[in-house]
Amino acid sequence: MLSNMSIDPRLRVLYLLGIAVGVFFVHDFWQLGAVLAVQVALWFVVRLPAGRLLRQIVKLWAFGLFVVATYAVFEQDPETDRWVRYMVLGLEIPINMSGIVEGAAMLLRLVTVVLASQVARAGDPRAIVQGLQRLRVPASIALSLDIVLALLGDNKGGGRGTGGGGGRGRRESEGDSFWQSVKRLARGDVSPVVKRIETQIARAEEHASEAPPDLRRDVAVVAGIALTMLAIKALKVLPSIPFAPGHKLVLLTPLYIVAAVLTRSRWGATLTGLTMGTVAFLMGDGRYGIFEVLKHITPGLICDALMPLMLRREPLPGGVAWSLFGGLIAAGRFATIFAVTLVMQPPAFAWAILAPGLAVNVFFGVASGYVSYHVVRAALRMRDARERPSKKRETKKDAAE
């Protein structure tokens, strides 16, 4: 039996990057089909389940239909377009047959990258992390990924505290249902979110004990908040239909803000988004393979860039300011979908079809401002509480000297 565990993790990373970039330089339809066929063959060589392959392809049906349809009904190149007219319900509808072929080629590229994403991590979810470390990825990124992946495999789960009394801790932290927590948030009570963050950071701190002292605190915060984000992302709140995309931004957006507040690094929120997105991708989540990670990095970049301005004011900004901030973050996040669409090179009219999704995402981003308004104050108190012991130690050290 072929053991994919013996493959150097660096080769996995390079393989994935090579496929993700190289497939867009392949233009002939038969060549794209061959590359995709290789990914399907490798899927079974590394013994990934056939059912997962089917589910992964099914996830892309809506986006794939969108891509092919836009190519089919709009003009591409007058020299190569081949129009055929069909009668549908008494209406004559022109279809660009060469456009369908081009759209299908773009779809093949996307499916190829998504399948390669799964093949690269087959057999060892942490192999990509190990490969990144060997490729000299910054320690803060590699350590954060390693901690999150380790804790995801911890049977204790996210609800148990670090100080024993597992059953009681689980009941206290997980006693509220999702909708009960939403009702508490509507009253301005953010304690369920804060408690979850504190619990996950405490768990991460235990696993970060061997990290370099200058990185230990930030790595624990990044890993803890990323774990909180993953738990929220896994909630099945609304059906998997596109009428309300981005609804979880109401809770996810404030967590980027918390990461920016609690970390000493200038790029704490960005690192949190990178960690969360990469782990979600490694776990097989997301429709767009490795491109999915961009959706989580972008909000972090916006937070890190603008949070110093938001916190500079005295008193702190009110709810309206945080709502506008949340809307901006949501718009930046949705811009990554535009980027993926740009890579697919659809007709110009396709951009108008994406506009409703942008509006819905921004709506939920604006709604997140109410939560952010309360959470940021709790995060500042958490930061002060975490820094107070270290300041006391520094004062005692100065006095002794």
319 token code pair:
């709810």
Give the model confidence (pLDDT) of 5-27 as tens digits: 578 888 888 888 888 778 878 88
Backbone angles phi, psi at 324, to 5 degrees: -65, -40
pLDDT of residue 247: 77
> Which pLDDT score is estimated for 250?
86
Q: What is the pLDDT of residues 327-336, one digit of tens each?
A: 999 999 988 8
Among residues 178, 158, 159, the alpha carbon closest in space to that of 169 is found at: 159
Calculate the alpha carbon distances from 200 to 129, 223, 280, 331 in Å.
20, 8, 17, 28
Distance of alpha carbon 288 from alpha carbon 237, whole angstroms: 21
**What local confidence, expressed as pLDDT, does residue 87 receive?**
78
State the Cα–Cα distance between residues 387 and 118, nearest whole angstrom: 41
pLDDT over 90 at 256, yes or no: yes
pLDDT at residue number 131: 84
pLDDT band for position 71 (cuts 50, 70, 90): confident
CA–CA distance, 209 with 384 (Å, rounded to integer):
21
Give the pLDDT of residue 291.
73
Please state the φ and ψ torsions of residue 92, each to the nearest 5 degrees: -90, 115
Q: Between residues 309 and 346, which one has the greater pLDDT?
A: 309
Kindly report which listed range (55-69, 149-163, 219-233) carries the lowest average pLDDT score. 149-163
* Mean pLDDT of the 104-109 span: 84
Over residues 200-224, the mean pLDDT reads 88
d(CA 95, CA 175): 55
Q: Which of 138, 154, 162 is nearest to 275 (CA)?
A: 138
CB-CB contact of 9 with 127 (8 Å): yes
Query: Is the per-residue pLDDT at 311 higher than 70?
Result: yes
pLDDT at 220: 93
The sign of the torsion formed by the CA atoms of 106, 60, 146, 121 equals: negative
Mean local confidence (pLDDT), 229-255: 68
- Look at residue 239 in the predicted model and tell me its pLDDT: 42
Please state, in angstroms and as integers, the Cα–Cα distance from residue 370 to each residue in 186, 255, 329, 373, 382, following that order. Answer: 8, 13, 14, 5, 19
Q: What is the pLDDT of residue 388?
A: 66
Q: Which has the higher per-residue pLDDT, 166 or 260? A: 260
Tokens of 21: 């970039």
What is the secondary structure of 146-182 as a DSSP string? Answer: HHHHHHHT-TT-TTS-SSS-HHHHHHHHH-S-HHHHH
Residue 175 has pLDDT above 70, yes or no: no
Confidence of residue 157 (pLDDT cuts 50, 70, 90): very low
Are 268 and 218 in contact by the 8 Å Cβ rule? The answer is yes
**Mean pLDDT for all residues in the chain:** 78
Q: What is the dihedral of CA 142, 144, 145, 151, to 10 degrees?
A: 140
Task: Give yes or no for a contact between 68 and 104, defined as CB atoms under 8 angstroms apart.
Answer: yes
Secondary structure element (H or E) that encloses residue 203, with its range: helix 191-207
Of the given ranges (7-16, 303-312, 392-401), which has the lowest mean pLDDT? 392-401
Report the first-to-last Cα separation within the chain, whole angstroms: 64
Task: Mean pLDDT check: name the lowest of 42-51, 145-154, 207-216, 258-267.
Answer: 145-154
Element (H, E) at 250: helix 249-262
pLDDT, residue 200, reads 92
* Spatial distance between the Cα atoms of 376 and 381, rounded to a whole number of angstroms: 9
User: Per-residue confidence at 344, pLDDT binned at 50, 70, 90?
Assistant: low
Top pLDDT among 237 and 380 is at: 380
Give pLDDT, residue 1: 37
As a whole number, mean pLDDT of residues 363-374 equals: 91
Q: Which segment, 17-31, 67-81, 232-246, 266-280, is predicted with the most confidence on average? A: 266-280
Model pTM above 0.75: no
| Residues of the chain above pLDDT 70, percent | 77
pLDDT at residue 245, rounded to an integer: 58
Paired residues of 95 in beta bridges: 84
